[in-house]
Amino acid sequence: MTNIDESIKQALEQEDREWFDSLGEQSPLGQVIDSFRTRNRFLIAFSIVITFALMGVFIWCAIEMFRAPEVREQILWATGVFFTIQGVTAIKLWYFMELNKNSTIREIKRMELQVARLAARLGANARV
């Protein structure tokens, strides 16, 4: 934790400190589980199914590449290996960008809540 984080936590009241800690960082598993609670959950589930299918095709192409008797066939199977692993990589990159986007949205919402609580507290103090 950095010094600024320490300063912010010390400035918060006990109630706010407990609330702030309850919104803490998520584990990677928590991020994956939360990704299935977004409106893209069907697309995410579909991409995971496609990833497993591409991995199966990748393994099949790799086995056939080593079994192929001629160089031409080996090159064709190697092309299949290349394109399937590229597909898996593209889907994984997209999924990690989705996780990053969800994490950023979560942090923005935390900041919105903090600003709203601060505004409510300042509004209550101004009326007194």
pLDDT averages per 10-residue partition of the chain, 128 residues: 63 62 74 87 95 97 96 97 97 95 87 83 69
Single-letter amino acid, residue 77:
W
d(C-alpha 98, C-alpha 55), whole Å: 21
Assess contact for 61 and 84: CB atoms under 8 A.
Answer: yes
pLDDT computed for residue 116 by the predictor: 83
Tokens of 49: 């199914």
pLDDT computed for residue 85 by the predictor: 97
pLDDT computed for residue 48 by the predictor: 95
Angle between helical axes of 41-67 and 71-127 (0-180°, round to 10):
160
